[in-house]
């Protein structure tokens, strides 16, 4: 086998388990890395380096709440790799955020940037909080204080954040302003996914959902299923889930099920997703939309459909429910939605998986376009952005598909192989310092 690096037989001890060890999500990321090491031909020393993020910062964030009380939140930023450029990745506001989860997500960002050939390492951040329970003012104070606390490790050449679950363009605008006030000049390249008026990129908000749709269309083509004859179920109706629904409908598909954390809807005739989006924009809950029958959240994933799109949290498809899935294609718009225990079950059911680190890579790809434009102060049109996004997504899809065929491995293993190999090669070229 063609091994990358200086592989020494007998040095295949289990991966080291640092402070992130107890988190099931970090364990899952480690398991994936371990499982791909041999296939990727990467030596144990490099795998050990890749198993532990380069650095992590944990901060306490005290803020004044609207009622005058003081509350302290925990915030995290993990930089998995800085080998080929700044670390890059989202900032998540969610009650389940912890250091291990953020570490796993940062590792997946490294593989994702590797597959897409972007000059970034992986990074991820988060604050353990429930954004639905915070006022706009509280969110602003939380974001600005968090930015202040991690100022020593961020920078346009060091670590560039973007939106993720529970954060949005406004969050990025506050980070950009806080950082710019500190350095004394406007610094749009400190974050991506900002409002277009302050250096955001046209098409960035839709990019992840568009990328997911390109991948789904490729998979349908391969299975010889016409979009017009296929149905989709989408779990999550945030930025990624809602744009994916809209894009799939534009391609002629029927979205028969949608859900968010409060409930799900099903309608075999197809849900009017444009009307649903307006309903939600009017401040009403998804489940109260009249165009579908309310169903249990656990039922949503197991209803029959052509394409199932988990677009919310990680670890929702497990050994428990994998046997119940009734889709032909699983398009992983979320990060880490499928546990390693569920993978063999899905394989046995012949479900075609478009793995997360490929499927949702459209977001960070257009983040890269945004960063480049901000640095060059040279703006692209939305057509240029979308066309380049499509080109890069299709190339990456083809590379992963080709690797899977050549090595006779699953799409997940192929995607991990390409991502891990890219980061491993970067590390080998740079060598060890000192």
The interface region with ligand GLU, picked from 19-27, 87-95, 256-264, 384-392 by CB under 6 A, is 87-95
Instruction: Say how far apart CA 307 and CA 299 lie, in whole Å.
Output: 15
**Cβ at position 313, least distance to ligand GLU in Å:** 12
Given the complex with ligand GLU, which of 289 and 397 has the nearer CB atom? 397
The interface region with ligand GLU, picked from 278-286, 292-300, 325-333, 362-370 by CB under 6 A, is 362-370
Q: For the residues of 111-165, what is the DSSP string, one character each?
A: HHHHHHT-S-EEEEEEEES-GGGS-HHHHHHHHHHHHHHTGGG-BTTTEEEEE-T
Given the complex with ligand GLU, which of 365 and 403 has the nearer CB atom? 365
Of 101, 164, 247, 374, the residue at the interface with ligand GLU (CB under 6 A) is: 164
Tell me 330's DSSP state: E
Given the complex with ligand GLU, which of 121 and 292 has the nearer CB atom? 121
The interface region with ligand GLU, picked from 73-81, 300-308, 324-332, 357-365 by CB under 6 A, is 357-365
Of 106, 242, 264, 360, the residue at the interface with ligand GLU (CB under 6 A) is: 360
Q: For the residues of 249-306, what is the DSSP string, one character each?
A: HHTT-EEEEEEETTEEEE-TT---HHHHHHHHHTT--GGG-TTSEEE-HHHHTTS--S
**Residues 88-117: x where in contact with ligand GLU by CB under 6 A, - otherwise, as a string:** xxx---------------------------
CB 53 within 8 Å of CB 127: no
Question: At a CB cut-off of 8 Å and minimum separation 6, what does 193 contact?
Answer: 162, 163, 168, 169, 172, 200, 204, 205, 363, 367, 370
Out of 88, 112, 124, 194, the active site residue is: 124
Instruction: Say how far apart CA 419 and CA 407 lie, in whole Å.
Output: 15
Instruction: Say how far apart CA 110 and CA 416 lie, in whole Å.
Output: 10
**Cβ at position 57, least distance to ligand GLU in Å:** 18
Q: H/E element holding 57?
A: strand 55-64
CB 339 within 8 Å of CB 32: no
CB 61 within 8 Å of CB 159: no
Given the complex with ligand GLU, which of 89 and 203 has the nearer CB atom? 89
Q: For the residues of 96-126, what is the DSSP string, one character each?
A: T--HHHHHHHHHHHHHHHHHHT-S-EEEEEE
The interface region with ligand GLU, picked from 37-45, 59-67, 86-94, 141-149 by CB under 6 A, is 86-94
Nearest residue to ligand GLU, by Cβ distance, number only: 90
Instruction: Say how far apart CA 147 and CA 77 lie, in whole Å.
Output: 10
**Cβ at position 108, least distance to ligand GLU in Å:** 8
Of 75, 166, 211, 363, the residue at the interface with ligand GLU (CB under 6 A) is: 363
- Tell which positions 188-247 bind ligand GLU, by CB under 6 A: 192-193
Asked whether position 367 contacts ligand GLU by CB under 6 A, the answer is yes
By DSSP bridging, strand 121-128 and strand 70-79 are: antiparallel
Given the complex with ligand GLU, which of 162 and 190 has the nearer CB atom? 162
Residue 407 annotated in active site: no
Helix (H/G/I), strand (E/B), else coil: 94: strand
Q: Which of 57, 115, 88 is nearest to 412 (CA)?
A: 115
Given the complex with ligand GLU, which of 188 and 292 has the nearer CB atom? 188
- Tell which positions 313-342 bind ligand GLU, by CB under 6 A: 335
**Cβ at position 153, least distance to ligand GLU in Å:** 16
Given the complex with ligand GLU, which of 105 and 253 has the nearer CB atom? 105
Of 162, 220, 327, 423, the residue at the interface with ligand GLU (CB under 6 A) is: 162
What number of other Cβ atoms are within 10 A of residue 130's Cβ? 11
Catalytic sites, residue numbers = 124
Positions that interact with ligand GLU (CB under 6 A): 88-90, 162, 164, 192-193, 335, 360, 363-364, 367
């Amino acid at each position: 086998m063609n091994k990358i690096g200086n592989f020494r037989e007998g040095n295949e001890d289990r991966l080291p388990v640092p402070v992130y060890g107890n988190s099931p999500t970090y364990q899952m990321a480690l398991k994936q890395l371990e499982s791909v090491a041999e296939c990727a031909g990467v030596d144990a020393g490099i795998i050990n380096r890749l198993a532990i993020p380069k650095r992590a910062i944990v901060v306490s964030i005290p803020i004044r709440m609207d009622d005058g009380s003081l509350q302290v939140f925990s915030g995290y930023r993990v930089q998995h790799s800085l080998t080929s450029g700044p670390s890059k990745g989202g900032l998540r506001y969610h009650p389940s955020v912890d250091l291990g989860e953020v570490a796993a997500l940062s590792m997946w960002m490294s593989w994702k940037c590797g597959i897409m050939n972007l000059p970034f390492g992986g990074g991820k951040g988060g604050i353990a909080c429930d954004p639905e329970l915070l006022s706009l003012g509280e969110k602003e104070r939380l974001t600005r204080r968090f930015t202040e606390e991690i100022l020593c490790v961020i920078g346009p050449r060091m670590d560039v954040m973007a939106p993720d679950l529970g954060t949005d363009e406004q969050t990025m605008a506050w980070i950009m302003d806080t950082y710019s006030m500190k350095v004394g000049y406007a610094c749009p390249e400190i974050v991506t996914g900002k409002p277009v008026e302050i250096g955001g990129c046209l098409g960035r908000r839709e990019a992840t959902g568009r990328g997911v749709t390109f991948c789904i269309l490729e998979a349908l083509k391969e299975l010889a299923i016409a979009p017009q004859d296929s149905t989709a179920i989408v779990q999550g109706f945030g930025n990624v889930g809602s744009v994916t629904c809209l894009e799939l409908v534009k391609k002629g598909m029927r979205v028969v099920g949608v859900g968010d954390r409060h409930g799900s809807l099903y309608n075999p005739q197809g849900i009017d997703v444009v009307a649903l989006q307006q309903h939600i924009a009017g401040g009403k809950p998804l489940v109260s939309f009249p165009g579908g029958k309310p169903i249990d959240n656990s039922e949503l994933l197991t209803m029959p459909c052509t394409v199932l799109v988990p677009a919310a949290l990680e670890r929702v498809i497990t050994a428990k429910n994998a046997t119940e899935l009734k889709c032909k294609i699983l398009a992983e718009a979320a990060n880490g939605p499928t546990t390693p225990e569920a993978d063999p079950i899905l394989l046995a059911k012949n479900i075609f998986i478009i793995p997360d680190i490929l499927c949702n890579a459209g977001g960070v790809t257009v983040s890269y376009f945004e960063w480049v434009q901000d640095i060059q102060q040279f703006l692209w049109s939305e057509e240029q952005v979308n066309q380049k996004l499509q080109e890069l997504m299709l190339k990456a899809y083809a590379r992963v598909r080709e690797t899977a065929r050549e090595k006779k491995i699953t799409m997940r293993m192929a995607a991990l192989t390409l991502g891990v190999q890219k980061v491993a090669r970067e590390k080998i070229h740079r060598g060890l310092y000192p």
